[in-house]
Amino acid sequence: MTATGARNAPDVVDVVALGESMVTFLPSRPGRLADVPSFDRGIGGAESNVACVLAAAGHTARWVGRVGADGFGDHLVEAIGGYGVDVSHVRRDPRRPTGIYFRTAGDRSTDAHEVAYYRAGSAASAMSPAGVDLDALRAGRVLHLSGITAALSSGCLDLLRELTAPRPGRPLISFDVNHRPGLWRDTRGPEVLLDLARGADLVFVGEDEAEEAWGITGGPTRIRQALPEPQTLVVKQGARGAVAFRHPAGSRAAGAARVGADGTPQAPGSATNPRPAPAPAPAPATFEPALHVDVVATTGAGDAFAAGFLSATLRDLPVRDRLRHGHLTAAAALTAPGDLAAPPARAHADRLAALDDTAWGTLRLGPGWTRADEHEGPEKEARTP
């Protein structure tokens, strides 16, 4: 398997994203949900967010999901399609509703942050291998998934297991762990997520997330030791930065490596045995510090980071630049309200990603930075924090 799936096959798009998207209601002012008088409607969903950002960045993207045959479902399909995302394979469910949620304006890492989900029994929870177009899902250079989908229902988990199973010719499987303890109906969640991650080619996980889900401490290298199978592992370290581990050039990704010479799939490491055999050789690691950002809201920043990294991956940029594009796209989300923010123009992002280490380290970005004149030099944007 190459860095991404086939480029020139008929009907192949750059990225296919599978998952639940919901209508989100954003507060008109700060405060408790009980005190907020009104809300503005938006859209939110980890996987569809990635598809929207990638489409806005100039890639071809498809979102596959399931929504109710209701007004909220209409809004989601129209809004996501408005970003240029292909929504022709979204199924409509006449019996189940579209999920919605309300949230406060505070940082989700604080105790003051509140989210009220109304997604139990949603249309998306009825997804299964038999209920989606598997060919449409696999018709991308990259197939982006997340652990949120696995938590929605047994059918959704079966679907993710089908898509992460080893098979010849599959697209590059991107998997964002997205551990959400409140979504799981039992204690199997961490083991399931570890097993799914082992079947992916590219995995995104937060350092704090790995500790919460799997009890792994000691930094990114310890996480890589517990998760050696993916060709690329990105460990996010919040405001500090991110580390990318990649197997040496020429080694195969997890999915390809688990298909025997006779084409017979070989079983991945089991989640019931969370200490797999060590990788045959140490994987090179690349660390890239995060940017200094004047934060407006944190929601959607992780999805934006994944989109930026995937965009650079599709362009076959060096690992350092993939991380920098992840940071830049996350900065666009951090400096705007809502779950979705327009990414910087490609030339603008490329210019910033090419800064030397000193200039990158002093760059500070605030609201509106993505609209900066492309012809302004870095000195117009950078200042010492």
Note the pLDDT tens digit of each residue in 359-381: 999 999 999 999 875 445 444 44
Closest C-alpha among 160, 156, 164, 154 to residue 128: 156
Taking 70 as the pLDDT cut, the residues of the chain under it are 1-10, 106-112, 249-283, 373-385
The 10 Å Cβ neighbour count of residue 90 is 22
Per annotation, catalytic residue among 303, 321, 339, 350: 303
**Annotated catalytic, 303?**
yes
Report d(CA 201, CA 267) in Å as an integer.
15
Q: What is the pLDDT of residue 138?
A: 97
CA atoms within 13 A on the CB side of 208: 7
CB 355 within 8 A of CB 363: yes
Q: What is the pLDDT of residue 106?
A: 64
Report d(CA 147, CA 38) in Å as an integer.
31
Q: What is the pLDDT of residue 251?
A: 54
pTM of the model: 0.87
Q: What is the pLDDT of residue 269?
A: 39
Q: What is the pLDDT of residue 129?
A: 97
